[in-house]
Each structure stands twice: as C-alpha cells, then as structure tokens.
Structure 1
C-alpha cells in the first residue's frame, strides 16, 4: 500500500472561520482582498476599510484591493471612511 503526497479534495477545499462585524463566515483558506471580504459582509469597498482586530489591541487596516492573509478565527470590523464631525 502506498500513500499519496497529493492533498485530498477535503484538504484542497479547507475552510476557516472568520468574523466580520460580528457575523461569522466559513471561507476558503486563501488570500482575499479587502474588497472581497467587505462584499462577503454585504458592504461596498468604496465606502469602507477593513480592519483586523488582533490580540492585545493590535489593529491592521486594509483598503480595497489590498491582499489580506486570513487566518482561522480572525476578527474584522468595517470602518466607514466618511467620518462625521459633530
């Protein structure tokens, strides 16, 4: 009996879980653009940035076509680019 080094279909289609604005999504384990992730959450990239909220208060913001290396259990929030002044 020989073992194959080829990944199984299940491994090729590995899913990870992320959260955007409190909504959980199961997505492919690959790079996405910020625009793709915002669209997944139903938001237009034109008016929003995507921010990853990490441990210890670390944040990382992505814009439009910027690549995002997503990891399982990443937490993102959308940030409206149009700040209002009171």
Structure 2
C-alpha cells in the first residue's frame, strides 16, 4: 500500500497597502521606508513615509527606517522641508 503525500508550496502573503491614495500589493511584511517611497514613484531622499492609523494615530518613518506593513495599511508621503535660519 502506498500513501501519497500532498505537497503544498507556501506562497508569499499578498499585502494590500495604499500610498498617497494609490493601491499597491507587496509580498513581504518587512520593508525599508525608502523602498515603499520608491514603489510609489517618489525619491527616498527628501520624503518621509507616514502610516495613518485609526483615530488619527500617525507613525512617521525616515527613508532608512524599517517598516513592518500589515494588510490595509494606509501611508502618505511627507515632503521634508529644510529649516531656514
């Protein structure tokens, strides 16, 4: 008697996020903010990435900071402005 074992290949998660109102799908949970800005067509330098949460909670990431994304995350880009003396 032989027994067949079904093998399942694990697909990466498909995570739906929005950046500046545009929908994107990523397959990894761990990113650098600059990668997500580039995905949205923005230069990493000169911009920060801000996650907009429930009840107005915001979390801002510099271009080199790690971001753990969750399905349904909403991000906006924030242009960095130099301070003038």
TM-score by length of 2: 0.84
Residue 68 of structure 2 is aligned to residue 61 of structure 1: no
| Structure with bigger gyration radius | 2
Name the structure where helix makes up a greater proportion of residues.
1
Structure 2 residues not aligned, in runs of 5+: none
Could you say which residue in structure 1 is the equivalent of 2:50? 51
Provide the C-alpha distance between the structure 2 equivalents of 1:84 and 1:7, rounded to a whole number of angstroms.
55
Provide the C-alpha distance between the structure 2 equivalents of 1:63 and 1:42, rounded to a whole number of angstroms.
16
Deviates most, 76-85 or 20-29: 76-85
Distance 1:7 1:29, change over 3 A: farther
Provide the C-alpha distance between the structure 2 equivalents of 1:75 and 1:7, rounded to a whole number of angstroms.
32
Provide the C-alpha distance between the structure 1 equivalents of 2:32 and 2:14, rounded to a whole number of angstroms.
17
What SS does the aligned partner of 1:38 have? Answer: helix
TM-score by length of 1: 0.83
Distance 1:2 1:17, change over 3 A: same
Runs ≥4 residues deviating over 6 A:
none
Provide the C-alpha distance between the structure 1 equivalents of 2:54 and 2:5, rounded to a whole number of angstroms.
39
